[in-house]
Structure 1
């Protein structure tokens, strides 16, 4: 990675998009005012890694309104990651991994985030990892943006062990994002490979979408020394603050 990565960060899915009607427990996204207030408070609490995506609805736009108002020194402390490949428009997800689409997606994200540069961009896989990596040209498009100092690193968010392995072995990919927690341990087999190749590992859904106790799941994850960063989601500021403080103490 081009710079140090915070050991724990925040996933900004819920400030911009709900899970949809197919989920019985679907939540309502907060108002823009409440979303912006939450982001400000999390940054005040010490959160320095924020992960978002075009597929997270209004997330990038709302984050951008916060970033634009931050003092330059504080903004420079933030590690910002977003994604390409999936978009979410009018309640419908669509995927496009072509070079042109990826480049255009990053341009849109930068504008929404009010950033000239983001630290990492992950390919938001639809599950066809091997085809996406080897045939779509998306990784090459991101590498070109990296060479132009528009993004800091190229990442791949994988849903499968095979996809994660292919991504780790790709010379242009710097990081992978994997779902790992006490109820999903298969991806742990990739950690030695990531360490050997010097690739970063970001953990998504560390609490299994809120079903796991953070007092158990987070220390368990932090005990695996080859995990680079853990991305925790949610809207409850008090709970998030407790999670971040606990993770920092354990690490």
Structure 2
């Protein structure tokens, strides 16, 4: 089975995506995740095989985030030479350090987070950046300045689209 024939537009972003994406938290973080069973982070060969299999099946969307441990740092080298084959989704707002999540939706942190993700992912643009909500969706969007900052970054060509990964 292949998903190639099922790719479709993602809203009005101009992005064409598979109906399933590949989440990559398990490529970079094995603590503080809510899975019923433990797991081991795969080595680069296994991660590369996973990406190759996903691509062969027609999956073209990769979901990552700074809160996913070293996922972005691993994806950069793993995706070298394949950038145009993937729609990369990352996030801003949540950081995971020393076993704890912390949230910062300020304009300065939003910009820092996107710039850092670009470096880690070894790319000049992120296709879609989502605000990684802590559950206070309305307050984040109304008061933090995160959306205005993402709009600036989009105008600068550093991302193609942005949205919210909400909890309400």
Q: Please indicate the TM-score interval, normalised by the length of the shorter structure.
A: 0.7 to 0.9
Q: TM-score by structure 1 length?
A: 0.58
Within the candidate set 105, 108, 112, 1:100 is matched to 108
* Aligned partner of residue 50 in structure 1, secondary structure: strand
CA distance in 1 between partners of 2:158 and 2:124 (Å): 7
1:37–1:4 Cα change, 3 Å: closer
Q: CA RMSD in A?
A: 1.9
- Runs (4 or more) in structure 1 with deviation over 4 Å come to 21-24
1:33 counterpart residue number: 45
More helix by share: 1
Within the candidate set 144, 149, 158, 1:141 is matched to 149
CA distance in 1 between partners of 2:54 and 2:47 (Å): 11
Checking the alignment, whether the CA contact within 8 Å between 2:133 and 2:166 is kept in structure 1 is: yes
Checking the alignment, whether the CA contact within 8 Å between 2:32 and 2:100 is kept in structure 1 is: no
- TM alignment of 1:196-235, pairs within 5 A: none
Q: TM-score by structure 2 length?
A: 0.84
- TM alignment of 1:173-188, pairs within 5 A: none
CA distance in 1 between partners of 2:69 and 2:33 (Å): 15
- Matched pairs, number: 156
Checking the alignment, whether the CA contact within 8 Å between 1:120 and 1:154 is kept in structure 2 is: yes
More strand by share: 2
Find out whether 1:12 has 2:24 as its counterpart. Answer: yes
Gaps of 5+ in 2: 1-12
CA distance in 1 between partners of 2:165 and 2:94 (Å): 12
